[in-house]
Amino acid sequence: MKINAYIHIKEIQELWRTLYKDNDNLSFYQSYEWNSCLEKQFHASKMLRYRGCQLVYYAFDGQVILPLIIDSKNKIISLLGHKESSDYLSFIFKNLDDNLLQKILNFLLIKYENFCLYFDKINESNILCEMLQKVKTLQNCNVKSEKKECVYIPLNADMDSFYQSLSKNARQNYRTAKNRLKRDQHSYQVRTNVIKLDDLQAGTFYKLYRERRDYCDKREIFIKKIRHSSKRWISFIPGFCVIDPLTLYSLQVPVFLSSIFVDNELAAFCEGNYNNRKGTISIARIATNEVYYSYSPGQILLIETLEQLKDQIHFFDLTRGVEDYKFKLNGKKHYNYSFLLHRH
C-alpha cells in the first residue's frame, strides 16, 4: 500500500477534487473548499483549542484521503472538522473496500501506538459508516460506537403544497405569525438564492448568528469585533484570532441562503449548501433576530422556503439536533455515528 503524508491541503488539491467528485456518500462538508477553510481555522486556533495538535493529510494508494488531527496530549486521532461546525465527517474516497479500510486502520494504530482513533459524525447514509461497523473483526482492536440523532425534511414534487402537508397546529401557528405581522403593519419578504457572499453580507449574517448563539448558550463571551467591514467575520478573543469556517466558505463559493426580511431588516436566515447526493441540501446554520421573536420569522422562513423547494429537491437536511420545530415541519430522524478504535 502506497502511503503519502502532506501538511497542507493545497498539496493534494487535484487528488481531493477527483475523489470527491460525484461521490454520493459525501456532503459539501467533504469538499476541498470547505476543508480549506477548516485548515485555516485550525492554524488560527493552534494556540487555543488545538494546542499540541498536528494536522496531517494521509493519502492511501491514491484512493483515499484522511485529513487527521493528531492530538499528542490526549492521544487521540480525529478527522478534521471534529471540533468545528462540520455536521458530517468522512474519509475522502472514490473507491473504498473492506480490505483497504483495514489496511488503513492497521497502519494508523501501529504508527500511532497508544493512540485512539475517533471518527465521529459519520452519517448512516455514507457507506463508510457500514464499513466501520464491520471493523469489529479487526485483530487486536476494540471498537465502540454510538449514534446521535439528526433530522431531515422529505419533499416531494407531487405535493400540491408543502403547507398543506403540515399538521393543523403547524398551519395555525404559521397563519397566526403572518397575521401578527399584518396587524402591526409590517411587511415581509423571503429571499432564496445560491450566492457567493461579499464581506459586508457575510459579516451581517455572522453577526446575527453569533448573537443568537450567545443568547442560546446563556453565557457571556468577551469578543471584540473588528470594525472594518471586510473583517467582520473574524472575531477576537483576547490574544487569539478565531475564523468562522462557514463564513469564510461563503466568501469563496456560492452557498444556499434563504432569508426573511421584515420591513427590509434581516429577521432570520438559514444557510448551507447542496450535497453530492442529488436533490439534497444540508443546512449548517439557522438564526433569528431576537427583535422579531414575537413574529416567529424562523417558522415563516422555513415553511415558505420549503414551499419553494418542494419541486426541486428531495431532502432538506436540518442536520444535527432534535429541536421541536424540526418535527413540526414533518422532520424525520436519521443518525450520525461515532467510532472509537484502539488496540487491546
pLDDT higher at 267 or 344: 267
pLDDT over 50 (residue 241): no
Among the listed residues 75, 77, 85, the one whose alpha carbon sits nearest the alpha carbon of residue 57: 77
Whether the CB-CB separation of 148 and 335 falls below 8 Å is answered with yes
pLDDT of residue 136: 64
Structure-model confidence comparison of residues 146 and 51, the more confident one: 146
Judge if pTM exceeds 0.85. yes
d(CA 281, CA 258): 12
User: Mean pLDDT score of the chain, rounded to an integer?
Assistant: 90
Query: What's the CA dihedral at 314, 21, 42, 5 to 10 degrees?
Result: 150
Angle at 125 between CA 134 and CA 19, to 5 degrees: 90
Residue from 327, 254, 246 nearest 287 by CA: 246
Instruction: Say yes or no to pLDDT of 232 above 60.
Output: no
Helices (H) and strands (E) in the chain, counts: 10, 16
DSSP-derived secondary structure letter, 115: P
Answer with the residue of higher pLDDT: 54 or 217: 54
Window from 144-148, 273-277, 340-344 with minimum mean pLDDT: 340-344
Query: For residues 314 and 218, what is the distance between their CA atoms, to the nearest angstrom?
Result: 35
**226 pLDDT exceeds 50?**
no
- Give the tens place of pLDDT for each residue, 115-170: 999 999 999 999 999 999 988 666 678 889 999 999 999 998 777 789 888 988 88
Stretch 309-313: mean pLDDT: 92
pLDDT > 70? residue 239:
no
| Residue 100 CB-density burial (10 A; 0-12 exposed, 13-18 middle, 19+ buried) | middle
Q: Please give the DSSP secondary-structure letter assigned to residue 313.
A: -
Max Cα distance, the chain (Å): 69
Which domains can be identified in the chain, with CATH numbers? 3-148+336-343 (3.40.630.30), 152-335 (3.40.630.30)
pLDDT score, position 86: 95
Q: Is 22 exposed, middle or buried (0-12, 13-18, 19+ CB in 10 A)?
A: exposed
Residue 242's pLDDT band (boundaries 50, 70, 90)?
A: low
Mean pLDDT of 267-287: 96
The DSSP-derived string for 121-163 is EEETTSHHHHHHHGGGGSTTEEEEEEEEEEEEEE--TT-S-HH
Identify the pLDDT of residue 217: 55
Task: Say yes or no to pLDDT of 10 above 70.
Answer: yes
In this prediction, residue 212 carries a pLDDT of: 77
Q: What is the mean pLDDT of residues 201-206?
A: 93
